[in-house]
Amino acid sequence: MSIQIDQAIIHEIAQNSDGQLNCRLRPQPLLNGAAVEAMLEELHSTYTSKGGKGFGFFGVHGDDGEANPAFSEALNRYRSNEMGFVEFSAEAGKLLQEELGKYDFSQGGFLLLASYTALASDYLFVALLNAKSSMTVLDDMELTQVNSLDLSNMQLAARIDLTEWQQDKESRKYISFIRGRAGRKVADFFLDFMGCVEGVNPKVQNKSLMNAVEDFVAGSELTKEERQQCRDKVFEFCSEKFDSGNDIQLKDLADELADSGMDSFYDFATGGDYELDEEFPADKSTLRQLKKFSGTGGGVTVSFDGGHLGERVIYDPVSDTLLIKGVPANLKDQLDRRLKGE
C-alpha cells in the first residue's frame, strides 16, 4: 500500500419525505478491511492525479466576513486528542448538512472522511460521493441492480495536509480541492462548510515560472537545442513533482538546471518581476507549453513539439501563417483522399 490508513468513516446526507436534508451518522469507523483499503487507495491515486486542483487554507473571506471556524476548530480538537474521530466526523456531517440546506440544488450524498499517512505526511481526505446504479450477476446467475459509490466521477473532494497545517502557520496551500468541471463556483458550498479560503493559484505560479524560463533562455548564450533541453528539463522536473503529489521547490529546480550547466536561474527568477513563491504546486497543463505549441480557434486545431519551430514548422507573424514541412502520415492520407474525391 502507498498509504497507511488510520481511520475512515461514511455518513449519509439525504432528503427525508418532507424534502428536508438529514444526516444519518455511522456510530463507529469503517473496519480497515480489504474493501476500505482498496477504496482509499483508488481515491488517493485518483485525487493525486487530477489536474487543475485549487489550494487554500483555513482563513478569512475577503469582503464577506470571517469564514466559519467550526470545522477547523473541531479538527484541531481531534488532532489534540480532545475529540474522537467518530465525534469529529459527526460534527463535520452536521456542518455539511447545514451548509447544503442553504441551497436548492443539493440532493445530498455520502460524506467520506479518512485519516491516513502518505510519504511521511498526515492527511484528512474529505469527499461527498454520489451513488450510481449498476448491474451484477448473483450466484444463481440472475441479474440484479445494485447501487455503488461513484469513485471515478469524484467532483466534490478536498485533502488537508495535516502535517503542513500544524507545522507551517504561514502556509496558504495545505488544503487542496477539486475545482469541478464548471469551475470554482461549483465547489463553493463544499469549501464553505470547511471554512476554506482559496490561497495559492497554481496556474498563475506555473505561468510565471514558464515566463521566467522563457526569458532566461532567451537572454542566454545557449544554442537552440540547448534552450529546448532547458525547457524539457524544467517540464520533466515539474512533472515528477506533480505525479508524486509534491510541490515545486524553486531552489531545487534551479539546482537541477545548474547541474546541466545552466547557472543562475534562481537569482534570475527571484530577482525579476515574476512574483514566484519559493514553493508551489505543479500544474502540468500550464507547463506543457514549454514542450508543445497548441491552439484551437475557428475550426482549426494545431499542436506540435516546440523543437520543430523554425525547422519543420515556420511561423510568419507578418502574414499570420504557419508553414508545415513533412505533414504527418495519417493527416496526409486524409488530405490525399479528400483531394482525389474532389
Q: Which domain holds residue 266?
A: 202-289
Give me the number of domains the chain comprises: 3
Q: Ramachandran region of residue 299, left (φ > 0), alpha (ψ -120 to 50) or beta? A: left
pLDDT at 182: 44
Span 311-329, mean pLDDT? 90
| Residue 152 CB-density burial (10 A; 0-12 exposed, 13-18 middle, 19+ buried) | exposed
Q: How far is CA 106 from CA 56, 99, 316, in A?
A: 24, 10, 52
pLDDT score for 291 = 86
Find the farthest-apart pair of alpha carbons in the chain and give their distance in angstroms, rounded: 78
Higher pLDDT: 115 or 46? It is 115
16 and 46 fall within a common domain: yes
Domain's final residue, options 198, 230, 253 = 198
Residues 147 and 238 in one domain: no
Residues written for the chain? 342
CB 172 within 8 A of CB 57: yes
Tell me, yes or no, whether 251 and 120 share the same domain: no
Residues 73 and 45 both lie in one domain: yes
List pLDDT tens digits, range 293-304: 888 988 899 988
Q: In this model, does residue 148 exceed pLDDT 80?
A: no
Together in a domain, 223 and 174: no
Domain limit, last residue, from 171, 198, 225: 198
Q: Are residues 30 and 57 in the same domain?
A: yes
Is residue 298 located within the same domain as residue 169?
no
pLDDT at 187: 63
44-69 pLDDT tens trace: 988 988 877 889 999 865 445 567 89
pLDDT digits (tens, 9 = 90+) for 72-104: 999 999 999 999 999 999 999 999 998 888 877
300-305 and 292-297 as β-strands: parallel, antiparallel, unpaired? antiparallel
Strand order in the sheet with 156-161: 21-24, 4-15, 109-118, 121-129, 156-161, 175-177, 54-58, 196-198
Indicate the average pLDDT of the chain: 86
Please tell me whether residues 188 and 122 are part of one structural domain. yes
